[in-house]
Homo-oligomer: A and B are copies of this chain.
Amino acid sequence: MAIQAFAELNCSIAHPLSFLGERWSILVLRDLFLGRRRFDEIQESLGVATNVLSQRLATLVDEGIVERRPYSEHPERFEYRLTEKGKDLQPVLLALLRWGDRYTAGPEGAPLETVHADCGKSFHMVPTCSECGGVVEPANVTNRPGPGANEEQRRRYAERRAA
């Protein structure tokens, strides 16, 4: 389970995608963020095959993103909830939601609104810089190898600069 090739890329985008990139994983998380907790509830909402859903949930539990816990013994019943690690994926979903609202929503507008409790307004996510607080945009971001880069990554970066 999980996409092995992705995990081997020494990349902080690829690594999460080794499990989030499996079909339905992110939509399962969406449901959990929306407060759905039960197997059948998620299954019905997404229309995902039950064998795939149980496999995805198992992977997410393995990864510590979701917690499976009984809410009833006799009969044994379980619910699924996001862990802190899972909740920290919120920016990923908000970013997708924002892009989807801009580019894929119909003429009537967004199917779902997000409300910021602190100000009470319907909002969208704006990415900002952790250091200066300014808005982050494609044009004002550059990349370079970090401390965890391997030799190959450093070499490629150097080659690219030279060219």
Contacts and interface: CB of A to CB of B under 8 A. Distances in A.
Contacts of A47: 5, 9
B35 A111 contact: no
Copies of this chain, tallied across the complex: 2
Nearest to A138: B87
A21 B96 CA distance: 11
A62 interface: no
Interface string A3-35: 101100111111111001101001100100111
Given A27-B14, A121-B131, A143-B115, A85 B103 contact: yes
Size category of the A interface is: 35 or more
A147 interface: yes
Contacts of A10: 111
A114 interface: yes
10 contacts: A12-B105, A13-B26, A16-B99, A90-B127, A91-B125, A111-B150, A111-B153, A115-B144, A118-B134, A123-B132
Interface of A: 3, 5-6, 9-17, 20-21, 23, 26-27, 30, 33-35, 45-47, 82, 85, 87-106, 108-119, 121-134, 136-150, 153, 156, 160
